[in-house]
Every structure is written in structure tokens, then in C-alpha cells.
């Protein structure tokens, strides 16, 4: 799964990388400890016109009476996304890229405090995670929310966790965003082992109140 991330790339750089027009209400950056329900940076496409937007991380199905009317849906499993009532329409029509510098995952061993690892792209490029989104309008104002699509871990990730966000490579952004026709389901697969790097980081990030760039400092 993906339960925490870091976003450090400047807004204008994100917009340039993804050829997207930035919205006026983008989340503040840098944020080294992005937690569920916080806003994240999302790229959407409407008839080929891309937009960089802020959305609540935590998908809100249309039937929820309130934002907390059911489980917090921060991830959507690729294996069942097309069948789950909460996700299937969005998987067909409202796919997005959730942009981050990388994400945290915890290795859990019996009798030990979970050990966090920071996972990012080997070349330091922004990580574009497959996402789905929708607008929920039962409150005072519409809320745009999203979830990260996950798949089985690749060989490199498996020693830490058995799930991995689906990572979309630049050449596949048009297909995932619906700009290049149908067939995006083929992209819901583990990233190549050599795409990612893994950095053991401080257990400070185990707290959702922790902040600051030192959260990414490697530890022994």
C-alpha cells in the first residue's frame, strides 16, 4: 500500500514536467510527511488539456453522506479496481497522476518497531503514481478526492512490503490519462526493479506530526 509520501518539487517545476496548467489553490510545499486526508498534487486531463490540481488524499464515494461516512480509501487495488463499486466508474473515466517525490513504506518484524523506508525514483525524477479521482458534492462545497492505485510488489520492494503503488512512466502518461485511447489497464503492473531506490530513514516519520527535510536523511 501507500500510506505516506513526500512532495518537495516546486509547483512551477511540476507544472512544466507534466505540461499542465497549475490551479490557484495548490497544496503548500515542501511537505516531507504527507498523510491521508491531506491535499496532494494531482494531474488530470480533459480532452488533452492537462491541469495540476490539489485534491484530498482519501477517495470519497458518491454515496457517503459525510467525508467520514465509511472507510478511508487512500489506495485502490489494481486487481479489483474494475469491480469495486467505489472505484469502477473512476477507473474508467477519472484517472489521474498523483505526483510525489517519493513515498514511505514500513518494514514490520515481530517484536520490533516498524522501520520506515523512503522509496523514490533512481534518477531523482518526480514519481507519477497512478490514481483515480472524483468530486463529492454532498457537503457545503464540492470536494475533489483521490486514491493511489496499487499492485503487487516487485522483487526489490518485496522484502519491505507486499504492495507497491503503480508507477506510470512518462511515455505512458497519455495512456493513463485517457489521451491516447483505451487500454490503460495494461499499465497496472509493478515497476521494474531498477526504477526505484530505497533509503532507510529515521523512525521519527512514524509520527504523523513529524516534519522537516531531515525525515529523508539516511540512517544506518
Q: Would you say 97 and 177 are in contact if contact means Cβ atoms under 8 Å apart?
A: yes
pLDDT score at 216:
97
Per the structure, the complete domain to which residue 63 belongs is given by 5-215
For residue 90, the number of C-alpha atoms closer than 13 Å in the C-beta half-sphere is 29
pLDDT tens digits, 163-198: 999 999 999 999 999 999 999 999 999 999 999 999
**Percentages (nearest 5) of helix, strand, coil residues in the chain:** 15, 35, 45
Which CATH number does the domain housing residue 159 bear? Answer: 3.90.1680.10
Task: Retrieve residue 51's grid coordinates.
Answer: 491541469
- 150 pairs with which residues across the strands? 77, 165
Q: Does residue 154 belong to any structural domain of this protein?
A: yes
Question: Mean of the per-residue pLDDT values for the chain?
Answer: 96
Q: Would you say 88 and 53 are in contact if contact means Cβ atoms under 8 Å apart?
A: no
Q: Match 516531507 to its residue by C-alpha cell.
A: 32
**How far apart (Å, rounded) are the C-alpha atoms in residues 126 and 13?**
10
pLDDT tens digits, 109-155: 999 999 999 999 999 999 999 999 999 998 789 999 999 999 999 99
Q: Report the pLDDT averaged over residues 29-40.
A: 97
Q: How confident is the model at residue 220 (pLDDT cuts 50, 70, 90)?
A: confident
Position with higher pLDDT, 2 vs 34: 34
Q: Does residue 68 belong to any structural domain of this protein?
A: yes
pLDDT tens digits, 50-99: 999 999 999 999 999 999 999 999 999 999 999 999 999 999 999 999 99
pLDDT tens digits, 153-163: 999 999 999 99
**How far apart (Å, rounded) are the C-alpha atoms in residues 177 and 181?**
9
Q: Does residue 181 belong to any structural domain of this protein?
A: yes
Q: Does residue 89 belong to any structural domain of this protein?
A: yes
Q: Does residue 90 belong to any structural domain of this protein?
A: yes
Give the predicted TM-score (pTM) of the model: 0.96
pLDDT score at 140:
84
pLDDT score at 101:
98
Q: Does residue 83 belong to any structural domain of this protein?
A: yes
Number of domains in the chain: 1
Q: Does residue 220 belong to any structural domain of this protein?
A: no
Amino acid at each position: 500500500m501507500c500510506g505516506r509520501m513526500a512532495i518537495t518539487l516546486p509547483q512551477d517545476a511540476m507544472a512544466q514536467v507534466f505540461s499542465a496548467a497549475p490551479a490557484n489553490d495548490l497544496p503548500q510545499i515542501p511537505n516531507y510527511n504527507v498523510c491521508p486526508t491531506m491535499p496532494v498534487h494531482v494531474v488530470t486531463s480533459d480532452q488533452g488539456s492537462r491541469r495540476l490540481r490539489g485534491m484530498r488524499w482519501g477517495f470519497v464515494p458518491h454515496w457517503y453522506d459525510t467525508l467520514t461516512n465509511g472507510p478511508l480509501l487512500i489506495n485502490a487495488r489494481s486487481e479489483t479496481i474494475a469491480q469495486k463499486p467505489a472505484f469502477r466508474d473512476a477507473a474508467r473515466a477519472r484517472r489521474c497522476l498523483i505526483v510525489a517525490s517519493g513515498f514511505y513504506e514500513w518494514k514490520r518484524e515481530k517484536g520490533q518497531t516498524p522501520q520506515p523506508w523512503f522509496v523514490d525514483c533512481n534518477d531523482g525524477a518526480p514519481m507519477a503514481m497512478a490514481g483515480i479521482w472524483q468530486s463529492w458534492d454532498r457537503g457545503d462545497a464540492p470536494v475533489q478526492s483521490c486514491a493511489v492505485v496499487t499492485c503487487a510488489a516487485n522483487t526489490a520492494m518485496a522484502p519491505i512490503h507486499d504492495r507497491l503503488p503503480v508507477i506510470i512512466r512518462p511515455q505512458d502518461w497519455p495512456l493513463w490519462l485517457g489521451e491516447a485511447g483505451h487500454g490503460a489497464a495494461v499499465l497496472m503492473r509493478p515497476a521494474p526493479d531498477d526504477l526505484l531506490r530505497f533509503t532507510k530513514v529515521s523512525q521519527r516519520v512514524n509520527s504523523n506530526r513529524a516534519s522537516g527535510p531531515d525525515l529523508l536523511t539516511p540512517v544506518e
